[in-house]
Amino acid sequence: MNILKYSEKHSAFREKFRAFVKKEILPNAEKWEQDHMVPKQAWKKMGQEGFLCPCVQPEYGGPGLDFLYTVIIIEEMARTRQTGLISYLHSDIIVPYIESFGSEWQKKKYLPGCVSGDIITAVGMTEPGAGSDLASISTIAVEEEGHVIINGSKTFISNGINCDLLIIAVKDPLIENPHKAISLYLVEDKTPGFKKGGKLEKMGMHSQDTAELFFTNCRIPVENLLGEKGVGFVMLMKKLQQERLTCSIMALNKAEYVLEWTIEYCKNTQVSGRPLSSSQSVQFAFAEMATEARMSRLFVENLIADHMEKKDIVIETSMAKYQTSDMANRFANRCLDIIGSYAMDEQCPLVRELRDLKVMPIFAGTNEIMKGIIAKSMKL
């Protein structure tokens, strides 16, 4: 059953991107993991080859392609064994805020660099005391003589070290309603009062530079307001559908990759003179996982088609984000159990996948938040 209709151009793009991954990403994945950082030059190469921001329109330096090109990039990146060059975060989660809500001068100033890789973006929402509950943020912004003064801090910010441009969520301390007090602003790297902390040591996603960000009387022009003042919460909510859909695509493909790798390993590993895959219990485990993965793929691909038709699928993407990220973690755990002693070896690809997958039920809204959204839609 083929829900998504890929053209010859899509297929040619996939082959081109696979060649790029083989040449530019796979040989460097181990070093990036050890360095806990992807060099900016790697981002620039992605941009030079046309693999960043595929949906940005030509008038802003982009190729103006459809969402299936994003799907192709995510699917191929899921198999690279690194998470630092996680381009969909930049291309399909952060940059769309500028596309949708930015002023004309903001789009012309920043989007071409986002496409070329000269500008790496990050979004600052999470704080030491505020995660999924965005209304609880405490970073404040106050207008003063044509400028905005920002004070506060953010944490667990992906691309935090590499970012050249940050979209930051702040609160107006004079507005009591927390949902109407939030605004989004653009902050450039090296702005006085904006300081980047060190790279955070994480359980997984080692090549992803994740940092704390600090703002001490950080002064930016009022023109750096993204969209309208006081509607930041609404703007963030409007973009959650695509964010959670891209997370679901990544989680689904990670789960499929984990299963495929384990099947191949078991076919080529002998136990008592027989392939490990000849064991009925192993075969049944693979059959169960393959069935769940196939059903999940059909659901996610249907959501992709609906999203491309601009349908409201907020509830369904919440379901997909929760289910696929949970599935990917279960697959990694189960497959590690199946392969036995090799699971203790740091060189085993599944070890890294397990560590990297642990955060997927947490970001883009925790899976508990997803369940709450689903339950509310059921009028419970």
- Which residues carry out catalysis? 243
Which amino acid type is present at position 161? I
Could you tell me which residues are beta bridge partners of residue 143?
148
Nearest to 133 by CA among 169, 157, 185: 169
Task: Give φ, ψ of 218 to 5 degrees.
Answer: -75, 120
Look-up: residue for tokens 């106050």? 142
* Structure token digits, residue 208: 């992803």
Cα–Cα distance, 62 to 29 (Å, whole number): 27
Question: Residue 138: CB partners within 8 Å, gap ≥ 6?
Answer: 127, 129, 130, 152, 171
Nearest to 115 by CA among 67, 168, 60, 77: 60
DSSP 93: I
- The region, left, alpha or beta by phi > 0 then psi within -120 to 50, assigned to residue 201 is beta
- The region, left, alpha or beta by phi > 0 then psi within -120 to 50, assigned to residue 196 is beta
Task: Give φ, ψ of 371 to 5 degrees.
Answer: -65, -35
Nearest to 38 by CA among 155, 195, 194, 206: 206
